[in-house]
Amino acid sequence: MTSYQTLRERHLADLAPATGELLGRLDWSAERLAEHRRTELRRLVRTARAASPWHRARLRDVDPDRLDEHTLAELPVMTKDDLMANFDEIITDDRLRLDRVEAHLDGLRGTDAYLLDRYHACASSGSSGRRGVFVYDWDGWMLAFLGLFRHLLRHQAGPHGGASPSPTRMAVLGAARATHQSATMPQTFSGTAVDMRRFPLTLPPAEIVAGLNEYRPTVLNGYPTALYPLVHAAEAGELRIAPSAVLSIAEPLLPEIRDGLRRAWGAPVLNVWGASEGVSAGSCGQGPGLHLSDDLAIVELVDRHGRPVPPNQLAAKVYVTVLYNHTLPLIRYEITDELTALAAPCPCGSAFQLVDDPWGRLDDSFSYAGVLVHPHVFRSALGRRRTVLEYQVRQTPAGADVAVRCQGPVDLAALADDLLAGLAGLGLPAAEITITPVDRIERPASGKLPRFVPLPADSFGVRAERLTD
């Protein structure tokens, strides 16, 4: 087996030309984009029919040579339940059985690793609370990374597209475990052009502030609910950094958070929408909204019944066809994110579809007497239990009540210990956690599962205060 560092150096060498190509695509015309999407859609479906038994049966009546974005809408929808129940029949490399991929993920802690010297795997509970597992090949992992960050890379290059006068230092506030893209990608692709240092959100806030002061990032990248407390630290004089750009990822960027980030550093705030499935959108910095990565995925915006919605109307969910991942073909895959396509063109002139800032799926942080607990403290422990299918965390004055729907055994005591250790590490040693297995978790009429339910702002009292004793 080749060493990790050798593989990473090869990947970095391949990333440089791929970056140039992906940045160049941002200037493609609408006609060239449409031709590329049609070609890649047909190639994806041919691969899926040839190498995936599940897709072969599902797409048996589809003629790839006649397929385009209009006829794509005639294909059946694919869900996360479909993926996880039929993973071994969907994956196109027979060596990547779900048990093997799960064993690889179980072995990851805070360190990135390749699977079979070629693949990367990640797991996501998703905002629906249902665990998903995704696999990328060598090129697919690069394209997923560039889909998320190419607008930032172009912004850093300046108006003439040249190299940045000094290497970009990006601080990444994200997941602690390498099962999540926000933890793994910075390790894979941190290099001479962009140095990326991770600051896991399980760290105490004081350690994050101290680390940022030492690192002095030129780009601050993280979840908005993790970035917002840094605004207060900067205004209090505790955080002394001067980023040239701030990148918001993974959660809705609320206006008050955007305003606070601009106020604290006077830098452009770029928003990114992305999913572990490999679909993404990013703001160019020249106008409102985000550009979908139209060269990498076809995104259909639909209502709750699956009917297309017009521009300037909120979609209840999206159907995603990821064009570049032939290892785990996702064709009309349902993601319950709420997006709105914008009819007006972007001032930058890009032909890539512009969407409004996403507002759905906000995971609320919990606050205990001034100690902010990011949802990832809970998510990191719950998400790595493969038998936990769904969960809901309800804040209590003394900690949290956790409902879990499981498929198979799970060590609830060990899970509780992990959650308590995470809270204790943030300065809450007296927290109380209850975990209750349930047969189902009630959902509202929208069908969305609120995974994190905080107490009302006026509910914090004596019991919350004593958590910090």
**Which domain does 395 fall in, by range?**
366-466
Residue with the larger pLDDT of the pair 392 and 41: 41
Cα separation, 163 vs 153, in Å, equals: 10
Residue 109 has pLDDT above 80, yes or no: no
In the chain, the percentage of residues whose pLDDT exceeds 70 is 91
182 and 57 share a domain? yes
Last residue of a domain, one of 312, 332, 361: 361
pLDDT tens track for 146-185? 999 999 998 887 655 555 556 789 999 987 776 778 789 9
Name the 3-class secondary structure at 82. helix
The CATH number of residue 7's host domain is: 3.40.50.12780
Cα separation, 146 vs 123, in Å, equals: 19
Q: What is the DSSP letter of 220?
A: E
Instruction: Point out the least confidently predicted range of 75-89, 146-160, 329-343, 397-411.
Output: 146-160
pLDDT of residue 447: 42
426 and 290 share a domain? no
* pLDDT bracket for residue 457 (50, 70, 90): low
Give me the amino acid identity at 233.
Answer: A
How many structural domains comprise the chain?
2
Based on DSSP, count helices (H) and strands (E) in the chain, helices before strands: 14, 19
> Cβ atoms within 10 A of the Cβ of 189, count?
21
303 and 324 share a domain? yes
265 and 371 share a domain? no
Q: What average pLDDT does range 344-373 have in this prediction?
A: 83
Residues 6+ apart with CB under 8 A from 236: none
Q: What average pLDDT does range 369-397 have in this prediction?
A: 83
Q: What average pLDDT does range 420-430 have in this prediction?
A: 92
Q: What average pLDDT does range 74-88 have in this prediction?
A: 96
Each as own residue / partner, the long-range contacts of residues 410-417 (CB below 8 Å, 24 or more positions apart, any chain) are 410/385, 410/437, 412/437, 415/381, 415/382, 415/385
Last residue of a domain, one of 361, 388, 407: 361
The CATH number of residue 460's host domain is: 3.30.300.30
281 and 399 share a domain? no
* pLDDT bracket for residue 460 (50, 70, 90): very low
> Cβ atoms within 10 A of the Cβ of 388, count?
24
pLDDT of residue 465: 44
Residue with the larger pLDDT of the pair 445 and 269: 269
Angle between helices 224-235 and 255-265 (to 10 degrees): 40
424 and 279 share a domain? no
pLDDT of residue 251: 75
pLDDT of residue 443: 61
Q: Which two tokens mark 129?
A: 């609370």
341 and 391 share a domain? no
342 and 388 share a domain? no
353 and 373 share a domain? no
What is the average pLDDT score of the chain? 88
CA separation (Å) from 78 to 44, 235, 239, 306, 441?
A: 15, 47, 45, 12, 22
In the chain, the percentage of residues whose pLDDT exceeds 90 is 65
302 and 376 share a domain? no
Residues 6+ apart with CB under 8 A from 39: none
Cα separation, 330 vs 345, in Å, equals: 29
269 and 416 share a domain? no
pLDDT of residue 467: 52
Angle between helices 412-425 and 375-383 (to 10 degrees): 150
Secondary structure string (H, E, C) spanning 374-443: CHHHHHHHHHCCCCEEEEEEEEECCEEEEEEEECCCCCHHHHHHHHHHHHHHCCCCCCEEEEEECCCCCC
Q: Which of 98-107, 119-128, 178-187, 380-389 is predicted most confidently?
A: 98-107
pLDDT tens track for 203-255? 888 899 999 999 999 999 998 878 888 988 998 899 999 999 999 987 778 78
Last residue of a domain, one of 343, 361, 379: 361
274 and 411 share a domain? no
